Structure formats: C-alpha cells, structure tokens
C-alpha cells in the first residue's frame, strides 16, 4: 500500500530543488562579473590629486591643481535598487578646509554601473566585463556621440573595456587587477582630439582618469599642424582610499 510513496517523495524533492535553484540564480549576483571594480558602500572615500588645464587663444594655457575627495554619505532605496550618494569636496592646498562643490550619485545592478554626474547619467561599466566589450555610455542620456549604434538609427558614445586584469601603477601606488575603460578615442589629426579613459582597480574603484579635448586650427596655413585653438585636459590620480 506504500509503493507509491517513494515516487511522490522524489517528485517533491525535485520540485523544491528546482525552486531553490531558480531563486538562487535570480537573487545572487555571480562572482567575477566585474562589479567588484566599482565597490559601493556608505562610509567609503577616495582622495585624488587633480590637474586641470584650459587652453584658449586669448588666455593661453592655465593649469589648476587641487585635491579632490569623494565620499559615499548615504544610500537610498529606489525602484531601480539602491542609489548611493557621493559628496565631492576639493581644496587647493592641504592646509585649507574642504569645500563642497557638488553631489553625485551612483547605482549598480547585475548589468551595469550608472554614475549620475549632476543631472546626467552615464553607464560607466557594463557587466560581465570582458576585454574588448563595448557599450553605449550615453544610453541613459540624450548626448549621443560620434559612433553609430548597432541599429544605425542614432549615435552613441562607445565605451570599450581594455586591459582587463592588467597591472596599473601611478604615483608610486601599484594595483594588480584593473580594467581600463576607453570612453572616447577620437584622434582626428586635422580637426580635433578627444581622448577619455578611466582606470578601475578591483575592490577599490576609480584610481585614474585622463581627459584630453582639443580643437585644432582649421583655417588658412595652420590646417594639419595641430595648433590648438581651444581645449582642456584633466588628470585625476588616486592618492588614498578607505572604508571599502
């Protein structure tokens, strides 16, 4: 009279096993996707040395050096998950007090990291990270870009992951596992140069950022000589971090 019990028991076990497997695949983010290159935690902070240079025909070349500190000061539950709030402060000299300049925010899920710079969201990382992977950094804003998107109907700002797991060293600090994201690599020798890249270290986050945007003279005899009419450069180098 009990011959059917083992069969029913097996069916019940299989059912709950499949249910557990399904819940696990949805709720737990797999390790090694690249999410570890952009850690987010309230209380964490990063300090950078920054050099900004502006170039104009009238003013020539002017460089401003300062220290930038970025702190995660809050986390807010939203419909998209958890949004982390960054306070950005700067000072021209270590002897001076920090001055708050702006507030940014970021959110991270199983697919990407979105950094809200003021009112503009950028897709800084796309998971899983692989060498050569590309994505539209302006997918969530209206800035477009110079590249054609896959469907060809609108323009993109194509980001590309390179040097994944590569070693990176700056100002005497070495990081064994990093990824470099080329946000733009437009090197037109006649019209302009627009090169933007960021380097992220595993379990640390952004450790280096460099931006060069130059507009060349394109009138008369200066064409092709890469004489800069207007432009700007930025170098942001990490000097310390904590709370991660």
pLDDT tens, position by position, 167-208: 999 888 999 999 999 999 998 888 999 999 999 999 999 999
**Is 27 in a helix, a strand, or coil?**
helix
The pTM score is: 0.82
For 208-229, write each residue's pLDDT tens digit.
999 999 999 888 888 888 888 8
The owner of tokens 């021209």 is: 92
* C-alpha closest to that of 100 among 65, 63, 73: 73
All residues at 6 or more sequence positions from 68 whose CB lies less than 8 Å from its CB, including other chains? 47, 48, 49, 50, 88, 89, 90, 236
All residues at 6 or more sequence positions from 27 whose CB lies less than 8 Å from its CB, including other chains? none
* C-alpha closest to that of 241 among 207, 193, 191: 207
Residues in the chain: 244
The single-letter DSSP state of residue 21 is H
Number of domains into which the chain is organized? 1
Supply the range of the domain harboring residue 166. 5-242
Average pLDDT, the chain: 85
The owner of tokens 């982390």 is: 84
> Which tops the pLDDT comparison, 150 or 169?
169
Q: Are 195 and 14 in contact (CB under 8 A)?
A: no
End-to-end CA distance of the chain: 61
What the block records as the tokens of 60 is 């020539």
- pLDDT score at 148: 56
How many CB atoms are closer than 10 A to CB 158?
Answer: 19
Is residue 151 scored above 60 in pLDDT? no
Distance CA 125, CA 33 (A): 11
The angle subtended at Cα 191 by Cα 153 and Cα 214, nearest 5°, is 100
Distance CA 159, CA 109 (A): 18
The whole-number average pLDDT for the span 58-63 is: 86
């Amino acid at each position: 009279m009990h011959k059917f019990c083992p069969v029913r028991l097996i069916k019940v076990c299989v059912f709950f096993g499949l249910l557990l497997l399904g819940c696990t695949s949805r709720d737990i983010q797999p390790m090694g996707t690249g999410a570890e290159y952009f850690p987010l935690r309230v209380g964490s902070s990063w300090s950078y040395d920054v050099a900004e240079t502006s170039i104009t025909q009238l003013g020539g070349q002017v460089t401003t050096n300062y220290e930038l500190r970025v702190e995660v000061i809050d986390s807010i539950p939203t419909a998209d998950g958890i949004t982390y709030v960054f306070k950005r402060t700067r000072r021209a000299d270590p002897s001076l007090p920090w001055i708050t300049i702006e507030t940014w925010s970021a959110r991270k899920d199983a697919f990407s990291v979105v950094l809200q710079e003021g009112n503009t969201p950028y897709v800084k990382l796309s998971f899983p990270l692989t060498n050569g992977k590309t994505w539209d950094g302006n997918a969530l804003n209206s800035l477009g870009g110079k590249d054609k998107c896959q469907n060809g109907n609108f323009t993109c700002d194509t980001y590309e992951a390179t040097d994944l797991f590569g070693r990176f060293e700056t100002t005497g600090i070495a990081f064994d596992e990093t990824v470099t994201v080329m946000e733009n690599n437009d090197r037109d020798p006649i019209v302009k140069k627009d090169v933007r890249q960021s380097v992220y270290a595993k379990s640390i986050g952004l450790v280096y950022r460099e931006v060069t945007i130059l507009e060349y003279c394109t009138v008369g005899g200066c064409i092709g000589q890469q004489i800069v009419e207007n432009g700007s450069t930025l170098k942001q180098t990490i000097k310390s971090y904590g709370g991660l």
